[in-house]
Chains A and B, each alone.
Chain A
Amino acid sequence: MGKIATREAYGNALAKLIVENENIVVLDADLTKSTKTNEAKKVCPQRHFNMGIAEGNMMSVAAGLAASNKIVYASSFAMFATGRAFEQVRNSICYPHLNVKICGTHAGITVGEDGASHQSVEDIAIMRAIPNMKVIVPCDGKETEEVIRAIAEIDGPCYVRLGRSAVEDVHHENYHFKLGKGEVLHEGSKVALIATGMMVQECLKAVEILNKEGIDPTVINMPSIKPIDEELIERVAKSHDVIITCEEHNMIGGLGSAVAEVVVKKCPVKMDMVAMKDTFGESGKPNELLHKYGLDSEAIVKKVRKNI
C-alpha cells in the first residue's frame, strides 16, 4: 500500500463503503478535501451533505439521520468535531445511542503549521469520557480501512481519530481489526510499549535502536481505546517490569490513563508515559514538533532507558 495518511485511507474506504451500503450518509463541514470525504461525494453525491462551517449543527443533524435508520459518517478536523460540537455529540448522539461515526482528521500536533488552535490533544480524553461512545485510533492505512468498515457493523456512536501526515505501513493486507482487541507487534521482555495511532511507527523505530543496545521491549498496537483490551493489558502487566504508553495526545485522559485504569485494578505495575506534557502545541513542521514535544522515536528510546 505504501506510506499514506490515515485520513486518506479513510476517504478511500468510505468511497467504497458508501457504494456498497445504501444506508450510509456522509456529512462534512467545509473541509471535504482535507477530511477526504470528497472521495465519497464523487461516487455518491446524493448521500453526501456539506453542512457548511457549522459543526454543532452538523452533529445534531447526524443524530436525526441516525434516528431515521441511517448510518452517518460525520467529519471535520478532530478539534472541531469533538471540541466545538462536544455537547451535541454527548446529548444528541451518545445519550440516545445513535449510529453516528465521528471521523475526526488532523488530530494531534502533526497537523503542523496551523498551530495549537487546530491541534487536538484532548479529543481522546473527552470522547472516552462519554458513556456509550467507542474510541478508535488506527495506526496506518490498512488498519484505517479495516476500522472504517468495522464501525458500519457496530451499533451506536464511534469516534475515529485520524491524522493529516502520511504514516508507515505497519500491517499486511490480511490484517483484521477487532473492536476491544490490542495487537502484539513484537514480543520482547521487561519493558512493554503500548502505543496508538502514529506513535506505533515511532515505537517500532525506537525498538530498532534499542535492540542494538540489547534492550528488547514488547510493542503493542492499541487501536481500540474504548473498549480497551483489559485481558492483554493484564497479561502484559504481569509479565513486564514497566509499561510505557505512547500517544500523540495530552498525558491526561488519553491512552495512558485508559491503560492505567486497567493496571491499577488488575495488576499494579510501574508505568510511564510518552505524551504531550499538559501543554498546547504550536506551528511548525510535524517532525520538528514531534521532536520538540518529546513524541518521536528518540524520546521513546530515552524513556525506555530511564525506566530500565
Chain B
Amino acid sequence: MITKEKCIMHATNIRMNIVKMVSAASSGHPGGSLSAADILTWLYFNEMDIDKDNAGGIDRDRFVLSKGHASPLLYAVLAEKGIIEEKELSTFRKIDSKLQGHPNMNYVKGVDMSTGSLGQGLSTAVGMALANKLDENNHRIYCLIGDGESEEGQIWEATMAAAHYKLDNLCAIVDFNGLQIDGNITDVMNPTPFDKKFEAFNWNVITIDGHDFDQIEQAFAQAKQCKGKPTVIIAHTIKGKGVSYMENNAAWHGSAPNEQQCEQALKELKGE
C-alpha cells in the first residue's frame, strides 16, 4: 500500500506523460486519459497485484481498458509501474511502435485486452471473470468504461450477463466525465442515470468523486467485500483533469496540444 501523497505524485507523473505522448504524436486522446488518471493510479499501485515480473502472464488481477482510446493513460501507468520503459512512450502512435493508438495485448506486457472499438471491453472482462470462476482462483478483473461508451447496447448485455453469473470478482468503473465527442452526453444520447440502471441489473453500485483518493480507496475496498454480485464504481470525473484549458472541454477529446500548449500543461501539472 502506498500513501495518498505518493499516489498524487504518481498521478501527476502519469498526467505529464499523457500530455507529452499525445503532443509528441500530434494525435491521440488526452481528455479521457486525464479524467481516469487518479482511478488507474490507485488501481495499479494499491489494488491490483501486477508488477514487472508477473505482467506477462495471467496469474494475477487483470484490467480491461474498454475505452481503448485512453491508451496514453494505460501506457503511462505501465511506465510508472516500471512494466514498460518510460522512453518507449515517445514512440506512441508512430509506425513500428508497440504502443498502438489503441492498445494491442500482443505487443505490450501488461495490456490485458486489445480494445479500441467501444462497447466490447466489458464483455471481454465478463469472459475473464467467468474463466477465473472456472479456474477457482481469487484474481480480480477490473474494467474501465466511458460514459459515452455506455450508449452501446453491448455494455448492457455484458451488465446483464455479469449479474446473471454472479461475477463478484468483476469490478467495472464508469468514467463519468459527462462528455463524448459531439458534446455533453445528455445532449448527444443520454445514458443516465447510471446508478439506477446498474441497480436494476442487480449490481452493487458505488458512486464517488473519481479524483478523491479517500473515496477511491473506500470504493475498491467495498467492491472486494461484496459477494454474489458484480460491483460498479460510478466515478464523477473531469475530462481533461489537471490541464486548465482541457478541463470540461469536448474539443480536447481527441486533439493533441502543440509544443507551446504542451509546455503550459506541464507547468500547470507540476504546480508551477
Contacts and interface: CB of A to CB of B under 8 A. Distances in A.
Nearest to B28: A113
Interface in A26-64: 28, 30-34, 50-54, 56-57
Contact of B93 (A28, A34, A283): A283
Interface stretch (B10-18, B110-118, B227-235): B110-118
A79 B118 CA distance: 12
A53 B119 contact: yes
Contact of B117 (A28, A33, A80, A113): A80
Contacts of A57: 153
B100 A283 contact: yes
A113 B101 CA distance: 6
Contacts of B114: 117
Contact of B116 (A52, A115, A285): A115
Given A50-B188, A113-B27, A84 B182 contact: no
Interface in B34-72: 68
B9 interface: no
Contacts of B27: 112-113
| Interface band, chain B | 20 to 34
A87 to B, nearest CB: 13
A114 to B, nearest CB: 5
B181 interface: yes
A50 B115 CA distance: 24
A137 interface: no
Interface of B: 25, 27-28, 68, 93-97, 99-102, 104, 114-119, 148-149, 151-153, 180-182, 188-189, 191
30 contacts: A30-B148, A30-B151, A30-B188, A32-B182, A33-B181, A33-B182, A34-B181, A51-B189, A52-B151, A53-B118, A53-B119, A53-B180, A54-B152, A54-B153, A113-B25, A113-B27, A115-B101, A116-B102, A116-B104, A116-B116, A117-B100, A117-B101, A117-B116, A282-B100, A283-B93, A283-B97, A283-B99, A283-B100, A284-B94, A289-B95
The 4 closest A-B pairs by CB, nearest first: A52-B189, A117-B116, A284-B95, A115-B101
